[in-house]
Structure 1
Amino acid sequence: MLWPATLLGAAAGLALASIPGALLGCLLGQVLDRRLRLHGWANLRERLGWRPAPTDDDLLFLMLGRLAKSNGRVLQSHIQQARSEMQRLGLNVDAQRRAIDAFARGKTARDNLRVPLQRQRERAEALLRACWRMAWVDGRVAPDEHELILLWGKWLGWETAALERLNEEYAPKRSQQPAPSGGSYQQALQLLGVSESSEPEQIKRAYRRLLSRHHPDKLAGSGASAERIREATETTRQLHQAYALIRQRRGMR
């Protein structure tokens, strides 16, 4: 086990006062290591506020967490959308755990994402699509969300016009009926094709089956029109909100 403060104290003491200084520095460093519970260099970096650069897998969920929190409050639909992205990527249990941690870390807005994003230009479209999906999941893109995505798009090398065209693919149609929200419990049940007597597992299976069938990602790479992608995005949003309402009413986890 490496004791960073002990090593640094010994090195500083040796430089300043030879062997006696090294011994004194080692002793003081050991006290500091124990008091701060520094068991290695990683612990010391954390104490100093240094954060490692996010991995490729973490970056997306850092961005999604930042977007979800940017308007002040993380909604259940934001959490469901993050879970949908995990399913879309086929993450295993360990990878999902890391993604959840990254999502929570992203909500703190402490990470500077400029350099990591500038290194991800090959993945730019996939990252930006996921961001627009998250931004639209509650039916509207707040100014802070819009500004963030435009900034990230700039760091990824995208022009504003191209970003807005991508945004339009996920914007819901204004003429469509709004998704069930505050009191439309029966509409939510009807949308998922379940009843009040359905078991929680039946409801979950119905939700996941419909989400898989209508997710816009299935259309994005198939040459589908922007109109069809918008319709699929709106349907996905409605499914998220319906499921969230049923879970809340039924006390489901």
Structure 2
Amino acid sequence: MKIWGKLFGFAIGFMFGRIVGGIIGLWLGHLYDKKRAQLSAVIGNGTNRQALFFNTTFAVMGHVAKASGHITENDIRMATALMDQMQLTGEARRDAQAAFNEGKASNFDLNACLKTFRLISMGRKELLQMFLEIQIQTALSDATLDDKEHEILLTVAKELGFSRLQLDELLKRWQAEFNFHQGGRNQQTSIEDAYDLLGLTEADSDQQVKRAYRKLMNEHHPDKLVAKGLPSEMMELAKKKAQDIQAAYDRVKQDRGMR
């Protein structure tokens, strides 16, 4: 039986209201313990978190894709490519398609969906950021970001606890990642995008470069993300992100002559 909420509530209440305050604090603590027990039952051993991440990812993808008023060929290719990359077949693929279609519906409640997702994810920043990055990739699948798509991304970022500035930084990094692949043969473009992908500039010191690299690799470590609730089917996405970070870091090190 969970009692810490009751004990803490009684102690605080007693400090401010003696016996009466202690009783009120005890009751509030009881409600807190009860809520935590309910949440623990929902979260379970992490399986429910993974299922929720999976379904919410594709539902919000569908909502983002519909932002312009209709689903484009690029949107369909993006969703299909993601399913292929995750090697989804059979029931898992049908579940992803059903969630995508649910997000396209006119009565889809984006805010409620995101609130539930953030609650069950228990505020795990790396997991929430991975989710946001997938939605950014969806919005920019046609290489453009219209006002409605940006508005939805702002809503997603806000509900998940990210500021507008953080969203802008992630948008810039994703665009750099895309350019890094496309312009890899052009040395000048490649180094500029490598810095952007790492969230750095050429004016930053070698120590800042190393620190940024370690931070990004820690945030996108596949095994850590899966342990925190990333569906195992999405591990390939995390691996690809980590590989891109490594490639950008290697490019910057080569340009600077770092060891």
The normalised TM-score by structure 1 is 0.47
Which is higher, the Rg of structure 1 or of structure 2? 1
Higher relative contact order (CA 8 A, sep 6+): 2
Structure with bigger helix share is 2
The normalised TM-score by structure 2 is 0.46
